[in-house]
Amino acid sequence: MVFEQRYRWGRAYRDGRLVCARVHITIGHDDRLGLTRHERRYVVARFQERLDGSLRTELTQLVRRRGAAARRIAETLETIELVLDHPHREHERIVGRLQPPQLRHGQLRDIDFGLRELELT
């Protein structure tokens, strides 16, 4: 069962360089038994506006491939940093690797990509 979904707007960066100016970010929690606290949280990103050319190419590759081929491509991609916009507090950062989408139909700005978070040390 999934609960506590939060929707935020943010931006995406790679190596300190802006790669998408507007990202719709969904953060939720899965309460299934057997998952660690870190595994229970999931992040989904939908890249809306002003995509960098290299990010557009990578997202297109993830959409066009299926199964193991898509997962292999996802593992080769650089990490991405999502910065969530909060009007009244410090910006939250989420760093991770993009994952292939579950649904692949429609325009790129309408497709949700999972993000496998990396634990920051």
Q: pTM here?
A: 0.82
Tell me how far CA of residue 51 lies from CA of 11, 20, 37, 109, in angstroms: 10, 5, 32, 9
What pairing do the DSSP bridges indicate for beta strands 2-14 and 113-117? unpaired
Distance of alpha carbon 5 from alpha carbon 63, whole angstroms: 24
Q: Which tens digits make up the pLDDT trace of 10-45?
A: 999 999 999 999 999 998 876 665 555 555 678 899
Nearest to residue 101, comparing CAs of 90, 109, 91? 109
Altogether, the residues listed in the chain come to a count of 121
Q: Are 79 and 94 in contact (CB under 8 A)?
A: no
For the stretch 68-94, pLDDT in tens is 888 998 999 999 999 998 777 677 889
